[in-house]
Structure 1
Amino acid sequence: FDIIFFWVARMMMMGLHFMKEVPFKDVYIHALVRDASGAKMSKSKGNVLDPLTLVDKFGADALRFTLAAMAAQGRDIKLSEPRIEGYRNFGTKLWNAARFCQMNECAWWEPFDPAETKQTVNRWIVGETARTAAIVTKELEAFRFNEAANALYRFVWNVYCDWYLELVKPLLMGEDDKAKVETRRTAAWVFDRMLMLLHPFMPFMTEELWTRLSESGPKRDNMLAVQTWPVLPDALIDAHADAEIDWIIRLVSETRALRAEMNVPPAARVPLLLVGATNESAARLERYQDLIDRLARLEYSTSAEAPPTGSVTFVLDEATVALPLDGIVDFAAEVVRLGKEIARLDGEAQKIRAKLANAQFIERAPEEVVEEQRERLGDAETTSAKLSAALERLKAAT
C-alpha cells in the first residue's frame, strides 16, 4: 500500500522518458482494506478475507458493490462478511423488482417520452430518476465512488422498490387502460436507467437482467455494456409531483412508525383523522384516500375538526394527524411498558457515558472499541428520545 505512490511516480517518469508521453491523466488509489475490527489483514493473524472465497459465497457483484460503497476518500475500508451479505440482499431486491416488472408486463415500446407521462406517481419517479442520474454522474466524475453507490442504493431500494412499486399497484390492477399502459412503460423505462447506472458497480447481474427484460419488450441489439450513459434533463423533475408524493410518503411513514411505537397489532385497521389541514392537504387526503388506507393499514381516513378522546397524534406540516386507538391499545399497559424500556435505555446510556468519561479507557482501548461505544450511546439516546415522545403521546391521549 505504501509503495503504490512510488510505482505511479516510476511509471510517470518512464513514460515521459521513453515514450515522451504522460502514461495516464488520472490515478485513483483507494484506501487500505482492513478486517471488520479495523486491523490490517495478515496471514499470521488469520484475519485475511480471500476475495475468491467471498465471490463464491456472495457473488462478484455483491463484493464489488460493497467495496465501492465503502470506499470513502481518506478512510480505510473495514470489510466484513455481514456487510457483503447486506449488499447481496440489495442484488436480490433488484432481481425481485425485475420479476415484478416481468409479471406485470412492464415494457417501454418506442415511441415513449417520459416527459409526456400524466399520472402523478409516474411523473414523480421520472423526476427522481433524472435527479439520481445527475448525482451519480457528478460523483463518479469526482471519483467519489461511495457517494455514487449509496445514491443508487437509496434510489433502487427506498425509492423504486419500497415506494414506487407499491404506489403503482392500484394503477396496474385498475381498469384505466391508458394509465396501465403508461405505468408499465414508465416502470420499465426507469428500470432500464437503473441498470445503466448500476452497470459499473454490478456488471454481471445488470447485464443478465438487461437481456431477460428484452423477452417481454423491445429486443436488445447490443449488450448493456455498450449502451450510452443516461443523461437526463432537469426538465423531467416535476415540483408538483414531488410535493404530492412526498406528502403521501411522509404521512404513511409517520403513521407506520406511530403504530409500531404504540404496539398496535399489525392486522388492526385504525381510523386516521386529519385535523386543522389546509384545503390543499384535505384535497390530497381525499384524492389519495384509497392508496393511503392500503399502505398505512387504515380502516378509513378523513378530515376532522378535532381529534377524539383516546387519540395519539403527530404533526404533518400545518395539520395534526390523529389515530383513535381507544379500545385497540391498552393505554395503561403501554405506559408501563414504555416507561420500563426508557429506564433501561437511560441506564445503559449512563453506563456508556461513564465509560467514555474514563480517560484510561479512551487511552488504552482500541479506536474501534471506543467508536463502537459512541455509536451505542447515540443509538440508546435516539431510541430513548423516540420512546419518550411516544410516552408523552400516550399520556396526552388518556
Structure 2
Amino acid sequence: MASGEPVHQAVAPELPTRYRPQDFEEDIYRFWLEERAFHADRDAPGPVFSMVIPPPNVTGNLHIGHALNNTMQDILARWHRMLGDVTLWVPGTDHAGIATQHVVEVRLAREEGLRRQDLGRERFLERVWAWKNQYEANILGQLRRLGASVDWDRVRFTMDEGCSRAVREVFVRLYEKGLIYRGDYMVNWCPECHTALADIEVEHEEREGRLYHLRYPLVDGEGAVEVATTRPETMLGDTAVAVHPEDERYRHLVGRRVRLPLVGREIPIIADPLVDPEFGTGAVKVTPAHDPNDFEMGRRHGLEAVQVVGFDGRMTDAAGSRYAGLDRQEARRRVVADLEEGGYLVKVETHRHNVGVCYRCGTVIEPLISRQWFVRMKPLAEPAMEAVLSGRTRIVPERFTRVYLHWLENIRDWCISRQIWWGHRIPAWYCRQCGETVVAREDPDRCPRCGSDALHQDEDVLDTWFSSALWPFSTLGWPDADSPDLRRFYPTSVLVTGYDILFFWVARMMVMGLEFMGDVPFRTVLLHGLVRDAQGQKMSKSRGNVVDPLEVIDKYGADALRFTLVTGLAPGNDARFSWERAEASRNFANKLWNAARFVLMNLQDFDPARGEPRRENAADRWILARLEAVTADVQRLLEGFELGEAARALYNFIWDEFCDWYIELVKPRLAGDGAAPGRADAGGRPAGDPAGAARSPEARTPGEGRVAEAGAAASRYAAQYTLWQVLEQTLRLLHPFMPFISEAIWQKLPRPGGGPRTLALAPWPRAGEAWPEAAAGDDGRIARFQRVIDTIHGLRSIRAEFRVPPGRKAHVLIYAEEPAQAEAFREQAEAIRRLAGVDRLEIATGSGERPAQAAAYVGPGVVAYMPLAGLIDLEAERRRLEREREHAEAALGRVRDKLQNQGFVTRAPAEVVEQERQREQELAARLELLAQRLAELG
C-alpha cells in the first residue's frame, strides 16, 4: 500500500457525515493488531520505555477505576512509542485468591446448593479455572474496547507456569535465608472467608458501639476492679486484668487477684506499659487469644491463652456450655444480660471506635492465634526506604512519599498463608514419620531426614499479593537470569496505580525487586485516586451510582470515556464521572470530526508535495504560533505526568483556537476571496475605494486580474497547507488521549513521502517542527493579530451580555494606540465584520471620544465601542440589569452572612466553606460588571 492511501478496512472509504465511533473503533483496533503496532521488539535499538499493567482480578468485568488506570497507562505508552522509544506494556491478570474463590463459592451455593467441600479440592479448582478463563477473556476484550495498546504477545497470569515458578523460587530463597518462618501468632481472621489476612487487608470503619464497664471482684473480698471493654463476650477468655505501671490509682493492686465473673476463674492483676491509662477506667481485661496487644502482654507475663471464639465466628466449648455454639453477637447479648443479672455490669456508654473488617467481604475480623507462615519484613523494608529517599524511585505526587516511608518504618511481619484452595500452594511438606518440614523447589518424594515417603503438602496457599509482588520481574522471565526481556526491560519505567494499593502492592514490589533483582522495579510510581460520582461520592452498588465503562463506550465511544476520565485530573487526586461530562467529551470529538470533514473537503485539489508556502497571512502565522505553543505545553505536561492538564490544553486549542477561530477566519480564502489580507481605511472600507464601492472583476485591467487571481491562488494554497499541517500535527498530539478518532481522521489526510501506515507509530511532534522560522520572531505581527482575536471575542461578549439579536448588525469604533495595531485591525476588517456581527466598522489610531450609550471592550492598547441605541430596547435592558443587580446583591448578602457566622465556618466541611468564599468573589465580580453595564447605558 502506498503511503497516503486510506487503510484497508481500518476506516470507511470517506469520513462519514455523522460521527459514530461504533462504526469504526473495532476496525481500527483490528488494524493496529494486524500492523503489530504494539509489539515491543527487544532487539530494536534506542531507549526503552516499559510498564507492567496492574493486573485486574479475574473476579468479574473491569470497572470505571480500571478504565482510568488503563487510560493513563495507554497515554504514556502511546506517547513513548511515538517518541521512538522501544515501548513494552505487559498485560495480564491476577488470580485474586480470596476474592475469586469467594465469588465461585457463592455461585456454587446459589446455583447448585453445594459447598466447595462437597466437590473436593480438585473438582472445585476445576470450577475456578473455568471461571478464570471466562472472565480473563472478558477483561482482555474490554482492554481492547478501551484502546489499550498492550503487547498481546506477552499476556501473563499470576498462576501461569512462569509466574508459578518464580513464586516457588522466591519462597524457597527467603526460607533458606531465614526470612520466611512458620509459627503460632495472632492473626486477622475472617470468619466468612475462613482465612487469615495481612494487616493491610483489614479495613477499619468508624462505627458507633458500646463501652461496657464491668466489675471484677477481688478474691480477698476487699472491693473490686472496674474494667471497660467494647467486646464483653471475650471476657470469658480473660486470663488477667492489666493496668499501667505508673498509674497511681492501681499500683497497690498489682499482684493481687480477681475472680472472673460468670466463669469463676481467679486471674492476676498485672502492670504493663501497653495499657492506656486514659482509656475507660485505666484497667483493662486481658484476653491473649483475642487481641493483638493482649497477645503480646500474655507472652511477656506467661499468661494462658483461652480461645472462646472459634474460626467460624461462634463461641467454643472453652466459653462454657451456656455460650458454646452461639454467634459472636448473640453471645454478646447473653453475656451482657448475665453480667447485669449477676451485678457485674456497672454501666454502658455510647462509644465511637474503629472496627476491623475483611477488605473482601466486609465481615468483622476476629483476632485469633493461628499457625501461619510469615515473612520477616524489617530487613527487607530498609532497602525499599533507601531507594525512595535516594531518588532511585520517584513517587508522584511527592506527598505520598511520606505515607510510603511511614508504613515501611512501622512495618510488621507479613502473614502470607491463606486457608483457601485457589492460589499458589505453599511449597512445604511435612513428614508424618519424623515431623520434618521440607521446603523445596521441586515436589519431594521422600523425607531427607528419615527417608520416609509419608509426606503431605501444606494445605494453605500463599497470599495473592505475594505473587503480585513479583510481577515486574516474573512477567519478564525471572528466575531465568538470561531472559532477554528481563535484561532489556527491567527495571520498568513507570508504574501507574491507585494510591489505595500503595502498601498492598507498590511497597511489596519494591521490597521484592530490590531483594531478587538488586534494583528497583520501576523508576517512577504515578499514583491516581478513585473515580467518584458527580457529587464526589464513592461508587457502590448500594448507592446505585456504579458506572459500567462498557456502557459509556457503547453510548459515546471509547475516546469520550478516556477523555472524560483524564481531562483536568491531577496526579493523586480522585476523579469525578458524570454522564454530562461524558456527553461533553463526545461533543468535543464530534466538533473535531466536523472540523476534519471541512478540512478534507477543502483539500481535494491539494498536494502538500508542492512545498511549504510563504506565511503572509497573519491568521496562518497566528495559528502556527499557537500550535507551536500547545506542542511545547503538551510535551512539558506529559514529562511532568500532568496528563489531565495536557488533555485540557489540547481541548482548548482544538475547540477554541483551531475550530472556532482559525477555520472561521480561513473560509473566505478557501472560497477564493483572499488574494491579499483585506485592508481598510479609517472607516473600515477597502483601501483606495473611498466611496465604499469595491471595484468589480469586470472593472479590472487584464494585468490586475491575473495578479489578483495569482494572489488568491497563493493565499488559498497557504490556507490549505496550514489547515493540513495544523490538523495533522494536532492529531499526533491528540492520539495518546483519543486514539480512535485521531487514527480515523489521520488516515484520510494526504501524506507525502514515506512513513508509517498507522498514526500509532507516527513521530511525536516537537516544538519548532510546524513552523521553524517562528523562532526568528515576526516583529509583533502575531501579538497584534491576537489582539484582533481578543477584540472580536470582546465584541461578541458585549452582544451576549446585552442580548443583541444575532441578525442585528452593529456599528463598532476601534481605537488602537499604535499605528501598526490599527493596520492589523484594517487587515482583518472583513473577519471582524463577519465574526462580530458588524456592518459599519471604523478604525483609528490614538484615542477617540466615547459614543453615547455605548458598551466598551478594553484590551492592551485597544478600546472598542459598540453603540447600543437601535440594537436593543435600552429602557427594557436597563430594567433587566437593575433586577439582576438586586438579585446579586441579595445573594451576596446571604453569602456574607454565612461567612460571618463562626458556627458555619468552623462546623461546615472545608470544601463547603471554600465554595461559599468562591461564590462571594463571583457575586462581587458580577456586581462590578453590572454596574459598568448600567453606566454604559447612560
TM-score computed with the length of structure 1 as normaliser = 0.90
Q: Does residue 394 in structure 1 map to residue 928 in structure 2?
A: no
Q: What is the alpha-carbon distance in structure 2 between the residues aligned to residue 224 and residue 70 of structure 1? A: 25
Q: 1:171 to 1:276 in 2, by over 3 A?
A: closer
SS in 2 for 1:3: helix
CA offsets per residue over residues 100-139 of structure 1, 9 Å max, x none? 101212756235447x422221111111111111110111
Please give the residue correspondences for 1:338-357 in structure 2 after superposition, counting only pairs within 5 Å: 338-357=881-900
Q: What amino acid is the match of 1:382? A: A
Q: What is the alpha-carbon distance in structure 2 between the residues aligned to residue 79 and residue 367 of structure 1? A: 22
Q: How far 1:320 sits from its partner (Å)?
A: 3.3
Q: What is the alpha-carbon distance in structure 2 between the residues aligned to residue 339 and residue 2 of structure 1? A: 52
Match of 1:191 among 727, 731, 755: 727
Please give the residue correspondences for 1:292-331 in structure 2 after superposition, counting only pairs within 5 Å: 292-303=832-843, 305-331=848-874
Q: 1:372 to 1:324 in 2, by over 3 A?
A: same
Corresponding residue for residue 763 of structure 2: 228
Q: What amino acid is the match of 1:206? A: S
Q: What is the alpha-carbon distance in structure 2 between the residues aligned to residue 276 and residue 245 of structure 1? A: 13
Corresponding residue for residue 109 of structure 1: 608
CA offsets per residue over residues 238-293 of structure 1, 9 Å max, x none? 45332132121111111111122233222111211124743223322322211111
Q: How far 1:336 sits from its partner (Å)?
A: 1.6
Contact 2:526–2:571 (CA<8 Å) still a contact in 1?
A: no
SS in 2 for 1:312: strand
Deviates more, 1:319-328 or 1:175-184: 319-328
CA offsets per residue over residues 368-394 of structure 1, 9 Å max, x none? 544544444444333332222111111
Q: What amino acid is the match of 1:348? A: A
Contact 1:108–1:189 (CA<8 Å) still a contact in 2?
A: no
Q: What is the alpha-carbon distance in structure 1 between the residues aligned to residue 823 and residue 816 of structure 2? A: 13
SS in 1 for 2:839: strand
Deviates more, 1:24-33 or 1:150-159: 24-33
Contact 2:791–2:857 (CA<8 Å) still a contact in 1?
A: no
Q: Does residue 263 in structure 1 map to residue 803 in structure 2?
A: yes
Q: What is the alpha-carbon distance in structure 1 between the residues aligned to residue 581 and residue 925 of structure 2? A: 23
Q: How far 1:55 sits from its partner (Å)?
A: 1.9
Q: 1:5 to 1:343 in 2, by over 3 A?
A: same
Q: 1:112 to 1:383 in 2, by over 3 A?
A: farther
Match of 2:529 among 7, 12, 31: 31
Q: 1:84 to 1:381 in 2, by over 3 A?
A: farther
Please give the residue correspondences for 1:121-136 in structure 2 after superposition, counting only pairs within 5 Å: 121-136=619-634
Contact 2:567–2:647 (CA<8 Å) still a contact in 1?
A: yes
Q: Does residue 248 in structure 1 map to residue 788 in structure 2?
A: yes
Q: What amino acid is the match of 2:762? A: Q
User: Which runs of 5 or more residues in structure 2 are unaligned?
Assistant: 1-498, 674-711
Contact 2:527–2:571 (CA<8 Å) still a contact in 1?
A: no
Q: What amino acid is the match of 1:324? A: P
Q: How far 1:219 sits from its partner (Å)?
A: 8.7
Q: What is the alpha-carbon distance in structure 2 between the residues aligned to residue 135 and residue 364 of structure 1? A: 41
Q: How far 1:367 sits from its partner (Å)?
A: 5.1
Q: What is the alpha-carbon distance in structure 1 between the residues aligned to residue 739 and residue 611 of structure 2? A: 26
Q: 1:100 to 1:16 in 2, by over 3 A?
A: same
Please give the residue correspondences for 1:1-398 in structure 2 after superposition, counting only pairs within 5 Å: 1-105=499-603, 109-110=608-609, 112-113=611-612, 116-175=614-673, 176-214=712-750, 221-233=756-768, 235-236=773-774, 238-239=777-778, 240-275=780-815, 277-303=817-843, 305-366=848-909, 369-395=912-938
Q: What is the alpha-carbon distance in structure 1 between the residues aligned to residue 854 and residue 924 of structure 2? A: 26
Q: What is the alpha-carbon distance in structure 2 between the residues aligned to residue 75 and residue 330 of structure 1? A: 49
Between the two proteins, what is the percent identity of the paired residues? 40
CA offsets per residue over residues 157-193 of structure 1, 9 Å max, x none? 1111111111111211124011101111111111111
Q: 1:372 to 1:310 in 2, by over 3 A?
A: closer
Deviates more, 1:13-22 or 1:50-59: 13-22
Corresponding residue for residue 280 of structure 2: none
Q: What is the alpha-carbon distance in structure 1 between the residues aligned to residue 508 and residue 816 of structure 2? A: 70
Q: What amino acid is the match of 1:236? A: A
Q: What is the alpha-carbon distance in structure 2 between the residues aligned to residue 229 and residue 152 of structure 1? A: 15
Q: What amino acid is the match of 1:45? A: R
Corresponding residue for residue 265 of structure 2: none
Q: 1:319 to 1:65 in 2, by over 3 A?
A: closer
| Structure holding more strand per residue | 2
CA offsets per residue over residues 280-310 of structure 1, 9 Å max, x none? 2332232221111111111121136534444
Contact 1:285–1:302 (CA<8 Å) still a contact in 2?
A: no
SS in 1 for 2:608: coil
CA offsets per residue over residues 198-236 of structure 1, 9 Å max, x none? 11111111111111334x988975100001111122742
Q: What is the alpha-carbon distance in structure 1 between the residues aligned to residue 530 and residue 773 of structure 2? A: 41
SS in 2 for 1:26: strand
Q: 1:82 to 1:34 in 2, by over 3 A?
A: same
CA offsets per residue over residues 308-335 of structure 1, 9 Å max, x none? 4443333343443222232333322222
SS in 2 for 1:166: helix
Contact 2:622–2:786 (CA<8 Å) still a contact in 1?
A: no
Q: What amino acid is the match of 2:575? A: I
Deviates more, 1:366-375 or 1:10-19: 366-375
Q: What is the alpha-carbon distance in structure 1 between the residues aligned to residue 912 and residue 535 of structure 2? A: 8
Q: What amino acid is the match of 1:187? A: L
Deviates more, 1:354-363 or 1:120-129: 354-363
Contact 1:98–1:213 (CA<8 Å) still a contact in 2?
A: no
Deviates more, 1:14-23 or 1:153-162: 14-23
SS in 2 for 1:159: helix
Q: How far 1:51 sits from its partner (Å)?
A: 1.8
